[in-house]
Amino acid sequence: MADPTTAAAEISQAATQAPIAGVVTGAQSVATDLAPAAANVASSVASAPPVGPEITSGLIVDGTLDVLIAFSVVTWALILIKGIQHLRIGYHNRAYSKKFWSAKDFQAASALQDNQGPAARIAEVGFATLLETDGGTTTHDLEHTGERQELLDRRLRQQLQKERGSLESGLAILATIGSISPFVGLFGTVWGIMGALTNISKSGSANLEVVAGPIGEALVATAIGIAVAVPAVIGYNFFIRRNKVVWAFLDDFAVEFGHLALKTSFLIKRAGSNSASASRGETLVKKPALKSNNEDLETNGVQV
């Protein structure tokens, strides 16, 4: 026969565990019902676009590529503009030099018309200075102080500096692009690799397929930076060499112009002065003839 005390304890324990078993069974059924919804939420989170550092990394790399493309456009535009400028300068300098040295004398060279180019502008400044100092200048200031030779040398030197500034325009931009483009591309590459390594660490996989794609895309920035820098450096060096050739030509021309002006004692006749002198000479010749005719008429008893 069972002990009444033991039987009572078993009945009490069974009564206590019955609600707990019901709760556990209910929780299991709820978890089973919520499992598909939880799976859908996880898949949507996994398929969502990257946020935070990943978006920032992509924007920085894209911005770097845009900057390099802009550098490339500016580089080729400057190379085209400077190339056309040097072609025009070479043509005009050769044409004017041929006309100048084919002139009969220094006075005839000053009457040349329709001239273009740096050499022609230097000659025009020189001739204008000689005409300005013809007979002495009426302006007394610091610009016109000194002798005629000093004034001519100063004006020619100033014009040479203006022509040099025109030739050098744009070369500083080429030098800057050639210097900084590789570093801009390297910056984009480093930042892209940092973002790629962050994504790899989050994915938990480091196989070749995961690593090669993002890092290869980041290395494109360095390649583009080098591709932009090479034409800029080549163009800069080429135009620096061409500028030296043009400067040497203009400097020699200015020196020869000064020597020719020295032979003429820094004097040059103004245009139309010969015709004016000729007309004055004809007037002086006609007047004595008229006087002699009047004297003949008075001799013959005719009053004039």
Q: What tens digit of pLDDT does each residue of 149-162 get?
A: 888 899 999 999 99
Question: Which pLDDT does position 237 carry in this prediction?
Answer: 96
Confidence of residue 196 (pLDDT cuts 50, 70, 90): confident
Confidence of residue 189 (pLDDT cuts 50, 70, 90): confident
Question: Worst-scoring range by mean pLDDT, 10-14, 249-253, 261-265?
Answer: 10-14
Judged against a pLDDT cut of 50, whether residue 177 lies above it is answered with yes
Separation CA 263–CA 299 (nearest Å)? 54
Separation CA 72–CA 228 (nearest Å)? 5
Among all chains, which residue has been given the structure tokens 């190379």? 79
Q: How many CB atoms lie within 10 A of CB 175?
A: 16
Residue 20 vs residue 206, higher pLDDT = 206
DSSP symbol at 138: S
| Whether 164 contacts 247, CB under 8 Å | yes
| Whether 156 contacts 257, CB under 8 Å | yes
Smallest CA-to-CA distance from 227 within 52, 38, 75, 42 is with: 75
What is the model's pTM? 0.66
Smallest CA-to-CA distance from 232 within 278, 175, 186, 286 is with: 175
Judged against a pLDDT cut of 80, whether residue 103 lies above it is answered with yes
Confidence of residue 139 (pLDDT cuts 50, 70, 90): low
Angle (nearest 5°) at CA 166 between 160 and 169? 140
Question: Which pLDDT does position 272 carry in this prediction?
Answer: 55
Give pLDDT tens digits for 264-275.
Answer: 887 777 665 544
